[in-house]
Amino acid sequence: MTTPSDPQFATGMMWFRRDLRLQDNKALFFALKRSKKLHAVFILDKDILGHLPAYDRRVEFITQSLRALDESIRSVSKKPTSGLIVQFTSAAQAIPQLATQLGVDAVFANHDDEPQSLERDAVVRGRLAQKGIHFETHKDHVIFERSEVLTLSGTPYGVFTPYKNAWLKKLLPEHIKPHDASALFERFCAREAELCRAVPSVEDIGFETTNLNQLHLPTGELGAHALIKDFKPRLSLYKDSRDFPAIKGPSYLSTHLRFGTVSIRELVALSWPKSQQGDPGAATWLSELVWRDFYHQILHHHPRVVTGAFKPEYDRIHWESGAQAKKLFKAWCEGETGYPLVDAAMKQINQTGYMHNRLRMVVASFLVKDLGIDWKWGEAYFATHLNDFDLAANNGGWQWASSSGCDAQPYFRIFNPITQSEKFDPEGKFIKKYLPQFKDWPSKALHAPWLAAPKGETFKGLQMGKDYPMPIIDHAKARESTLKRYAVVKNPNLG
């Protein structure tokens, strides 16, 4: 892309949010094009962070990525006193204040379409307007957003496959062309002395150091590209390997996509040409990227999904409640359900903040359709624990599993945790990694251990009911209860 010779604004400000990179950053591209000099700002927003637990890997991922971004800005601008202005405060208040303090003419940012973010941006826009400061945002987090992909009748899609077909038909090379602003990086300007501070650590803002550095999840823009380099040779195998948690099948880029340390355009550019050439792995991975866009447009057009079902009739379902439901939910959260694949998956998220995509479907189905617990409980748990938590995708995934969402699995499709275990972790490698008490067990006995060792009996050094819990629910009986529970969807009188 070309850059103009005469910028429109004397001084601009780039407000980084979920786009922590210099390469192919659309708002940054236009901020540098249109500003003679540019300040770079990130706000560790108390309005968001104030609701998080003290031990949160995402906060550490952000601070480490900010540190890398700060170093990159100072390096590419060739000004040691340039860099990132980072403050721990309320963004809605800080951005207008900083814009005034720095004497900027315009503030640039990328779109963030989550409801809370839209409210914040509306406040910021109004306060900047009162000061005569231009506020400009750009699409960057997805390929197509909002109303860019609609049906022939002009309505948003509610089913994925026709949306995907329309998305692919609309896609052109220009949609994934990178926004290269490297020729203008020298426009990053020096910071005032009082703002020339180091990026705060997690301890500086009241959080705890986590085990992030032990999880092989590299941070920052360089970390994202290290993962891309590692994934490229495996891309063609993705379709066959993605469902097996013991195999290195996924790209592990979801956290980087969430915080924008990698461009979605770069990832589509990696997969789209190969998918057109008939590469099944690339085509399958591209579909996963399209799902992201799909869920984001669902959230945009139907913000009600944040608090209720996409299909309103599913809000009629009566979920389990009371002390027993809380007890079952606690067992699910802690990985103590008595179903090894479910428990290993929950141990994985608790210990690492990551969960394999196949397992997300398994544990969600188990919570909703085996335990009869409201999907919103599970959604909230994932929102707190997932490194890659994204409101649109998390909500969409949970509604898919509970059959209440767009293009969801039918309510009578209920994952069997035993057959899922046998099919996708046949040798029990994943189970044994997170449930080491089964290390000496033969693989065939792992998937339903109570059959090999009834309660109180010991097998291969493990006593069932003591060293590992008995099942908290009978799947066959739970299936019957679920079909009855969901009957109210078709017949309101049953409620």
Catalytic annotation, residues: 288, 291, 319, 357, 375, 398
Q: How many alpha carbons fall within 13 Å on the CB side of residue 40?
A: 33
Which DSSP string do the residues of 448-467 spell out, in sequence order? SHHHHS-TT-EETTEEBTTT
Q: Are 490 and 407 in contact (CB under 8 A)?
A: no
Give dist(CA 366, CA 372) in Å, integer: 8
Six-digit token pair at 213?
């550095």
**110 contacts: CB under 8 Å, gap ≥ 6:** 17, 18, 19, 25, 26, 27, 137, 138, 139, 140, 141, 260
Integer Rg of the chain from CA:
24
Beta-bridge partners for 15: 41
Q: Which alpha helices (H) appear in 215-339, and where do they start and end?
A: 220-231, 238-241, 254-259, 264-276, 280-301, 322-334
Residues facing residue 44 across a β-bridge = 88
Count of alpha carbons within 13 Å of 468, Cβ hemisphere only?
32
Contacts of 105 (CB under 8 A, 6+ apart): 9, 10, 11, 12, 35, 133, 134
What are 390's two structure tokens? 């994204």
Report d(CA 369, CA 135) in Å as an integer: 46
Sign of the CA dihedral running 485, 488, 494, 495: positive
Nearest to 342 by CA among 410, 245, 412: 245
Distance of alpha carbon 80 from alpha carbon 193, whole angstroms: 12
